[in-house]
Structure 1
Amino acid sequence: MSRIGKAPVKLPSGVDVKMSGREVTVKGPKGMLSWSVHPTVEVAIDDAVVTTRPADGNEAHWAMAGTTRALLNNMVVGVSSGFERKLSLVGVGYRAQAKGKVLNLALGYSHPIDFPVPDGIEIETPAPTEIVVRGIDKQQVGQVAAVIRGFRPPEPYKGKGVRYADEQVLRKEAKKK
């Protein structure tokens, strides 16, 4: 069993955590995030440390306390340094271009794909075959990267498609005659 719920979340300088009722708000140099805490979890904010524990001392609620601690840590990291996910395009003619709040993708279909960038997310294309998704919300960054990857997931025979930069695609052998 994991003991991550008992570890405190240390706040770097410039990050401020406030609690009003069940709502936790984290402010930092990159922005502000807020989240509603589950009723079975108690959050304590000291000088530069945030701790979580079950509200009623029930052993079964430690799992939710650990989840709450991990989410609070992700919020603190997001508002202080942010998150990024890199994607790479593999295939002849596959390219991406960021134009303001729209990502234009050419992925081998008969039409281009125009992906509207959601609020709170920045998309950058340092090269025509690279996409960098940045933001302060870890879940939103991962979801946007997964949606972009979903337009043309990597196929197992030639490895063509949109993949995460650190993803290993298992290749299959072609059918033999």
Structure 2
Amino acid sequence: MDDQILGIVGLGVLLCAIFIGFPIAFTLGAVSIFMGFIALGPVVFDLAILQTLSVMQDSVLASIPFFLFMGFLLEQSGIMERLFGAIQQLFAGIRGSLYLAVIVTATIFAAATGIVGSSVVLLGVMAAPSMIKSGYDTRLSAGAITAGGTLGILIPPSVMLIVMGPVVG
């Protein structure tokens, strides 16, 4: 089978399986192994095992649990609330200061923990009520919270960059 046709068929099978409701992680693995078996034959199983072992032996990936632990400590110790309050006071004279405070705080937290989702959830719980109470637009507040959390993935070190480093080489 031609490589382009195999790729299109694989993408179609992947999308159909995801839309049916299969978990994305298992669907990606199963479709890639199946399409690799069609293209390369039984050698794909050996290649998958060797690639998995080489990624598991990389010591850089050991830092990921420490990022999660740091995020847990920042959230449980109350440092994030104090940081948000300090940044809010710093921008107090500027119009839209809560938006700026949320974006800066979310960026700092996402860069420190390396995980976007935890930053967005924490600031959604912490900052959204004060923004709504102050009369800020709900949709714009949600946008500021998610944008700030997403900025953190671009600032090294983030978990995404740590995971991509060994995989890319």
Pick the structure with more strand per residue: 1
